[in-house]
Homo-oligomer: A and B are copies of this chain.
Amino acid sequence: MSESIADLGEFGLIGQLTAGLAQGSAVSVGPGDDAAVFLVDNRAVSSIDVFVEGVHFRRDWSSAHDVGRKTVAAAVADIEAMGAAPVSLLAAFAAPSDLPAAWALELGAGLREECERAGVSLVGGDMSASRDITVALAVVGELRGGDPVLRSGARPGDVVAYRGRLGWAAAGLAALRRGFRSPRAVVQAFQCPTPPYGAGIEAAAFGASAMIDTSDGLLADLGHIACASGVLIDLAAAQLETAEPIQAVAQATGRPPLEFVLSGGEDHALAATFPYGQVPGGWTVIGRVADPAGSPPTVLVDGQAWPGPAGWAHFG
C-alpha cells in the first residue's frame, strides 16, 4: 500500500508541496503566514474556479500532473479574457484521506509547472478531507493601465477573432470516450489545454471591444458576448480551420469536423471582438458583429443558425 495523504499529514504535505517554490518579484510573503502579500496594480482583477473529480476530470483519463496544469490554465484564462495579466494564484484542495500522497504531489507539480508557464505566482492554499477530489483556484491579476475588456463591449462593425485552439480538447475527449489514446495531439490538448498566455493583455492594448475565453465552446461563449452586448455575431465557416487530427476524430465518430470547432469547450482559447483593422498578429478573424435589427442577440454561422449542439456539457 503506497503512502496516503493521511500518512503524510497536512503539514507534511504542505511542506513537500511548497518546498523550493519560486515566487515572482511581486510577492513579498508567500505560503506560511495567515495570508500572502504581493504587489498588484490598483485596478485588480480576480476570479475563482472549482474543479471536481467525475465532473471536470477523471483519473483514468488525466494524470495528476495534467489535472494540475489544466486547472491552472482554465483559471488563468479567465484573467486573460479580461485583458489582464495574472499575478497571484491561491489553491484550495480537498481529497479523501486515502488518496496516494504521490497523486497529490504530482498535482502540485502540475500546478507549479503551469503557474510558471502562465507567469503567475502560487502564493498560498488550504486543504481539507472530502470524498471527491476538489481543486478551487483563485487568481488575482492586473490591468497594467489598460481598461478591462468586458463581454458587453462588442459593437456592430467590429470583427470577431480568436487566438489559441478550437475543437482540439473536444476531439481529445471524444477519442478518450471511445477508449482511444490517439490522435495524441488532441488527447494531449484535452489533458493540458494551452491558452495563449499574454494574448489577453495584448488584445486589450490593441483595442479589443469584448473578450471571453472558450471554456464552454465557441458558439456558447460568443453567445455570452452577443447577449451582453446586444449584438448579432455572424461567423464565416470557411475561416474556421479544422486541423487534421480533429478531422480524423470527426471521421471516426461520424460527426462534422466543424461541430468540434464550434461546440467543443475546454480549449481556453481567447475569442474577442475588435474594431475593424485593429486585430493584433496571431489572431484569426472568423466573423463580424452586426446590428440584430430587432431580433434577439445570437450567433450565426454563414448567416444561419447552427443546427448542431451549441453548448458544451462537462462529461460528469
Contacts and interface: CB of A to CB of B under 8 A. Distances in A.
B56 A128 contact: yes
Interface string A30-50: 000111111111111111111
B37 A44 contact: yes
Interface in A37-88: 37-52, 55-56, 78-79, 81-82, 84, 88
A262 interface: no
Contacts of A316: 129
Contacts of A81: 34-35
A171 B119 CA distance: 46
Contacts of A132: 94, 130-132
What DSSP secondary structure best describes chain A's contact surface?
strand
A90 B129 contact: no
A155 interface: no
B141 A138 contact: no
Contacts of A136: 48, 50, 92, 126, 134, 136, 138
The 6 A-B residue pairs whose C-beta atoms are closest, nearest first, are A138-B138, A136-B136, A35-B47, A50-B92, A48-B90, A34-B81
A252 to B, nearest CB: 30
A123 interface: yes
Contact of A34 (B29, B40, B92, B213): B213
A93 interface: yes
A34 B131 contact: no
26 contacts: A28-B43, A28-B148, A29-B82, A29-B148, A33-B151, A34-B79, A34-B82, A35-B47, A35-B82, A35-B141, A37-B143, A39-B42, A39-B44, A44-B44, A44-B88, A46-B123, A46-B138, A47-B90, A48-B126, A49-B92, A49-B126, A50-B93, A55-B129, A55-B130, A94-B132, A136-B136
Nearest to A132: B130
